[in-house]
Amino acid sequence: MKKIFFTFVGFLAAALVCELSVLALTKALGWDNFVSGRPFLAAVHVHLLVLGALFFLIQLLLEKNFSLTQNKLYKVFHIVFLVGISLTVALMYYKGVCQLLDASVIRGIAEAGAAIGHTLLVAGLALFAVCLYGQLFPKKKDEK
């Protein structure tokens, strides 16, 4: 339960730091949202809040009722999901900073990394679904 809570708090803090850095960067580089539109970098904050903080907040409630961490696949899910979201968010941040600086993005790194990150996120969510299913509908000893 503590691991889930501290993961939630970590994502909440990361989202706050990310939003503050976006505001500082856009102000320092003279980015005008009204003229140029909202920068791609702004999506990073939303990803951290929804996929990170909100997801783990909901998971806290599920843990309280169904003891998700008791499932043998939970640790695998946790690692895969965190690596996936970290890779996805890092590359989104990179792409957003390149947009603000009007620099070219190294396409192979950005596209392949984003694809790997999103694939890991989907795999993590699938593992989470398996963990949840296992806790919602436990096998009885006489079933095989």
Do 101 and 26 contact (CB within 8 A), yes or no?
A: no
pLDDT of residue 57: 94
Cα angle 73-79-80, degrees, rounded to a multiple of 5:
85
Summarize pLDDT for 9-33 with one digit per residue, the tens: 999 999 999 999 988 888 888 887 7
pTM score: 0.87
C-alpha 110/C-alpha 5 separation (Å) is 31
Alpha-carbon distances, residue 73 vs 70, 80, 83, 92, 129 (angstroms):
9, 11, 16, 28, 10
Give the chain's end-to-end CA distance (angstroms, integer). Answer: 30
What type of residue sits at position 18?
A: C
C-alpha 47/C-alpha 119 separation (Å) is 15
Question: Where do we find the tokens 């500082």?
Answer: 24
Summarize pLDDT for 59-109 with one digit per residue, the tens: 999 999 999 999 999 999 999 999 999 999 999 999 888 888 888 888 888
Provide the residue ranges of all domains of the chain, joining segments of one domain with +: 2-136
